Amino acid sequence: MTQHDADKADPQALGNEEAAAEIDRLSAEIDRHGRLYYVENRPEISDASYDTLFRRLQALEAAHPALARPDSPTQRVGADPRDSLPSLEHAVPMLSLDSAHDLDAVRRFDERLRKALGDEQIRYVIEPKLDGASLELVYVDGVLDRAVTRGNGRVGEGVTENARTIPSVPLRLRDDEIAAPAFLSVRGEALMYLNDFESLNQRRIEADEQPYQNPRNATSGALRQLDSRITAQRPLTVLAYDVLAVEGAEFDTDSEGLAALKAWGFVTPERIEVVESVDEIAEYHRAFGADRDSLNYEIDGVVVKLDALAPRRRLGSTSHHPRWAIAFKFEPRKEVTRIDRIFVSVGRTGVLTPVALLRPVEVGGVTVSRASLHNREELERKDVREGDRVRVQRAGDVIPQVVERVDEEGRERRPAFTMPEACPSCGTAPVEKGPFTVCPNHFACGAQLKGRITHFGSRSALDIEGLGGETAALLVDEGLVKDLADLFDLTEEDLVPLEGFAEVSARNLVQGIEERSRVELARFLVGLGIPEVGVTVARDLALHFRGIAELRAGAPDDLEAVHGVGPKMSTAITAFLQQPRVSEALDRLLAKGFELSVPEAPADDAPDDWAGKRVVLTGSLEGYTRSELKKVLQGLGARVTGSVSARTDLLVAGANAGSKLAKARELGVEVLTEDELLERIEGAEAP
């Protein structure tokens, strides 16, 4: 049988061997034409010919389902809907970037790196900062294994079926230039090109559907669809720009990794360059900014990354961002409109924020109708009032804000706006904390409670499915929940009569809440919404105190023994926990019978010489990173703190030690060099 005859043969009549051979051939051919069309923009066949090949492959797989492969091109059409998106941990944390808004900040970043790296030659990879949705793509033995949204940077939502439908996402890595590695984690940005976004909105308008507000929101929504067949209908593209982790391949530079991504079949951002000076970065930023309005995709700046990977590893990261990269942002777009009214919004933490209701104006492709006026002092400084003509921008091209008032000669202005004497939500008298006006009724104020319930059930906290913003507002408005503890008294009978609930959804929510009475201590701390306490700090507090009662009893000095907790943060945490209203609300919540799991305790056989000692590390260390040395000391029973006080037992001073060393000497605290410390540790560990 000739190849032509085989292509016409009834799929049902083919044996497995013949069908497998044709499936392999068609898959490779369709992949090639898809890459030519979507990635290289040089198609060789018509759409009709492509569709013929695709339908033939579908027919073969339908007739021989056991031969269908996970990397088959037919996977791009989508699969049956899911009930929910799973939570998946990233291979390595997906951190955000520190940002610079002027060239001086970029120069300071460059100076810090040059000082830290000494005589090493520094080169930077510079690329556009894409304004889409971050996505991790993981490949095992060259085949797409999973796709995960950024989420909180450590855990995101599994959107693998949706990612399979995106034409620019390789289902199998190409290996004709570079062998596919055994394991590969790639960070990319999912986005919609502006012409595709406009076409999508036009189709929605013609179908009498609400158009999407902007490409970023449309992209994020498409990625998180429960029905991947809907995602397949959205014009998504993924541009890959970072190798997060790899096993089976080695690179010395980021630019080598980018070249490998292209060889493996990914689309990478355009106009990536390698430069050596801040002046070259400035020129790249200027040129991209000048072209910004003519681009077919949204960007809000450029990314500057150290090219060499070994120095990156030495520089490391904070809990939020790498020290070897920075985002050089563009000046936000600005437009002029008028303030119709000013009202006060009450947030989850009790802050009363003045908000301007604006006459709708388009700013950078997005219609803006309200903007934050930030706080009492900012409102007084800008002196904007109802009826004023104002200049508006989107900070970081996202958050609308009023920049300044535009003078109108001869126009009589209305009276200055003043903050209310009572919380608009609960009537409690607010208090002033610096420039902020705050309602102190934290867990009983209706507006705060809605936000706290939503935060309590969020993915990084107790992760209660179905407890989102709309449900939280409904529970509070209906009087079913007056504080967090009431969540654990809800019954199916309470929920079924409410709008949007049926027996199944009511049962699922009640069960979901009940199951979360057993939860990790760190998640519980995140859920409480304690000031200054995010995921990283909550984990460190849980490791240190090992119980909620111990944390509540801690004084500011006790909290400062936790890595990364300084005087300001420790005072804010203890002040919050010791407020009578907060303490009462927490007592009611804990009375519901929480089982808060904690990590394993440190070894009980820590040498007495180190047990309980307060140690501060400062300056640049040589043999250890600071986090490594901290772990060693904690393993010996010591408490590593962030600041020097009269209670400090020992200061370890590396190179370029500064004010902490001076303060230690002033207080008479014992000071050791890194070598002296290591000698003492070896002595403590000796039998």
* Residues forming the active site: 129
- What lies within 8 Å, CB to CB, of 467 at 6+ separation is 453, 454, 456, 457, 487, 509, 512, 513
First to last CA, the chain: 80
How would you classify residue 520: left for phi > 0, otherwise alpha for psi between -120 and 50, otherwise beta? beta
Distance CA 322, CA 128 (A): 18
Nearest to 127 by CA among 279, 303, 294: 303
Instruction: Write down the number of H helices and E strands in the chain.
Output: 25, 24
Burial 295-323 (b: 16+ CB within 10 A, else e): eebbbbbbbbbbbbbebbeebeeeeebbb
Instruction: Give all strands of the β-sheet with 273-275 in edge-to-edge order.
Output: 99-100, 325-329, 299-306, 124-130, 273-275
- What lies within 8 Å, CB to CB, of 428 at 6+ separation is 422, 439, 440, 441, 445
DSSP run (H or E) holding 303: strand 299-306
Distance CA 423, CA 430 (A): 6
Q: What is the DSSP letter of 469?
A: H
Are 303 and 327 contacting, i.e. CB atoms less than 8 angstroms apart? Answer: yes
Residues in the chain: 687
Q: Measure CA 447 to chain center.
A: 25
Distance CA 683, CA 670 (A): 18
